[in-house]
Amino acid sequence: MDLFVVGPLVLGVLFLVAVLAAFIDSIAGGGGLLTVPSLLAAGLSPAQALATNKLQSVGGSFSASLYFIRRGAVNLREQKLNIAMTFLGAIGGTLLIQHIQADILRQILPLLLISIGLWFLLMPRLGEADREHRLRGLPFALIGGGCVGFYDGFFGPGAGSFYALAFVTLCGFNLAKATAHAKILNFTSNLASLLFFMFGGKVVWGTGVVMLLGAFIGARLGARLVLSRGQKLIRPMVVTVSAVMSAKLLWDSHGSVILAWFAAL
């Protein structure tokens, strides 16, 4: 298969989309809402779009992770167990999705995302400052790393928000610190899924590498704002992205029903 399946103009648009998506993703997650539809609109098959999206997501999450580590926001040694469990969970999710349908999860997910948005909206002091740990070590690694990693490999949308929520509620991290740590695990699960997509030969490398470069730039810009603006920026972004993702997933699943309901009014 050709490295590039799109023309130079479309490739330039995809580069800009990747910059914007990674910027949003590094702050609140949900960048795939922009990149996957853009890849599909550019003419890639669903399998190619998902695989190529994982490639550019790896670039964005790596860029943000590297920035957070270099700025001392994340101690990588303390995250070894979380990273290992996330990697294993993502592999399990990626393997399972190849054999069963994700229709039930697709129906439930909008409710989960709405709950996350409302939680941050209605609890303004959540993540304002570090609090006492509720879970440490292996228990947190299994839940905040393995379970969310499994979800990211199995389905994906909103995984960054789930990682951040786990660090806030279970580890007691403030919101900026939780977002920084979430990006490390998000990179881990993205990488695990990408490896399996690579073996399947679905990645469109030329297009994906161009988007990866855009994602690298966008994620670095977003990561800087996380550390400089913190909760004042992250909270409204999480609420907004959760609402948009929920609306998008509801439309994908029930768009025809919604249109018919409005037509009957």
Judge whether 27 lies within some domain.
Answer: yes
Helix boundaries (H) for the chain: 8-28, 32-41, 46-70, 80-97, 103-122, 137-140, 148-154, 159-169, 175-199, 205-229, 231-264
Judge whether 152 lies within some domain.
Answer: yes
Judge whether 2 lies within some domain.
Answer: no
Judge whether 3 lies within some domain.
Answer: no
Judge whether 132 lies within some domain.
Answer: yes
Determine the structural domain holding residue 242 and report its residue range. 8-264
Residue range 172-191, pLDDT digits in tens: 888 889 999 999 999 999 99
Would you say residue 234 has pLDDT above 90?
no
Q: What is the DSSP letter of 73?
A: S
Would you say residue 127 has pLDDT above 60?
no
Structure tokens at 171: 């580890």
Residue range 59-69, pLDDT digits in tens: 999 999 999 99
**Residues 51-60: what's their mean pLDDT?**
92
Judge whether 153 lies within some domain.
Answer: yes
**Cα within 13 Å of Cα(249), Cβ side:** 25
Number of domains observed in the structure of the chain: 1
Residue range 8-42, pLDDT digits in tens: 888 899 999 999 999 988 887 778 878 888 888 88
Average pLDDT of the residues of the chain: 82
**Residues 41-56: what's their mean pLDDT?**
86
Structure tokens at 110: 């909008």
Judge whether 178 lies within some domain.
Answer: yes
Give this prediction's pTM: 0.82
d(CA 265, CA 101): 34
Report CA-CA distances (Å) from 139 to 31, 45, 73, 109: 29, 39, 22, 24
Judge whether 173 lies within some domain.
Answer: yes
